[in-house]
């Protein structure tokens, strides 16, 4: 009779359902924590913005856990992630992102970076969007040695806006 209990009807079905429940729970936790981690890296996936009565466009960004201002935006209608970098002269764009945005590589040059001297190519971004701020004809550099998909939003763009930092927020204004 003991041998019949080990092969009781439904035992394998119950084990299969238990495994399926664990797999679903693991999948749900993975999705939850992936979104949580992404929000820790880029808390400005949908940046807050407004336009004042005087017509001034404002975007308010929250600092991420590492102390940086990271925000989602667009270059030539292609969704991108910006890392604001007041120490960068130009907007620096990785090669793959530049290709996706249809940017043409211009004159080769050399740039001094924290990682040493690198080769970059001049380019012009037709349209750069961050929240409701729209910049046109922004000079930039295509940077083949730059990994990842994050664009350094340097002073060639930031000098066209006014910015103020208070606590953990940065407000950008386009007048």
Structure tokens at 168: 């953990």
Q: Are 103 and 128 in contact (CB under 8 A)?
A: no
* Amino acid 147: pLDDT: 86
* Amino acid 115: pLDDT: 79
Domain 48-174 class, CATH top level: mainly beta
pTM of structure: 0.75
**Running along the chain, 175 residues long, what does each successive block of 10 average in pLDDT?**
58 70 61 49 88 94 93 97 93 96 96 87 97 97 92 96 94 92
């Amino acid at each position: 009779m003991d041998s019949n209990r080990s092969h009781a009807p439904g035992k394998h079905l119950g084990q299969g359902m238990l495994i399926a429940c664990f797999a679903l729970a693991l999948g749900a936790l993975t999705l939850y924590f992936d979104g949580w981690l992404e929000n820790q890296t880029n808390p400005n996936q949908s940046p807050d913005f407004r336009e004042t009565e005087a017509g001034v466009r404002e975007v308010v960004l929250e600092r991420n856990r590492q102390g940086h201002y990271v925000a989602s935006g667009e270059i030539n209608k292609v969704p991108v992630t910006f890392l604001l970098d007041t120490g960068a002269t130009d907007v620096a764009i990785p090669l793959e992102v530049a290709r996706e945005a249809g940017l043409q590589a211009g004159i080769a040059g050399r740039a001094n970076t924290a990682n040493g001297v690198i080769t970059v190519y001049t380019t012009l971004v037709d349209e750069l969007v961050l929240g409701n701020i729209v910049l046109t004809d922004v000079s930039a550099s295509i940077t083949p040695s730059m990994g990842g998909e994050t664009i350094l939003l340097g002073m060639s763009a930031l000098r066209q806006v006014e910015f103020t930092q208070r606590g953990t927020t940065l407000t950008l204004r386009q007048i």
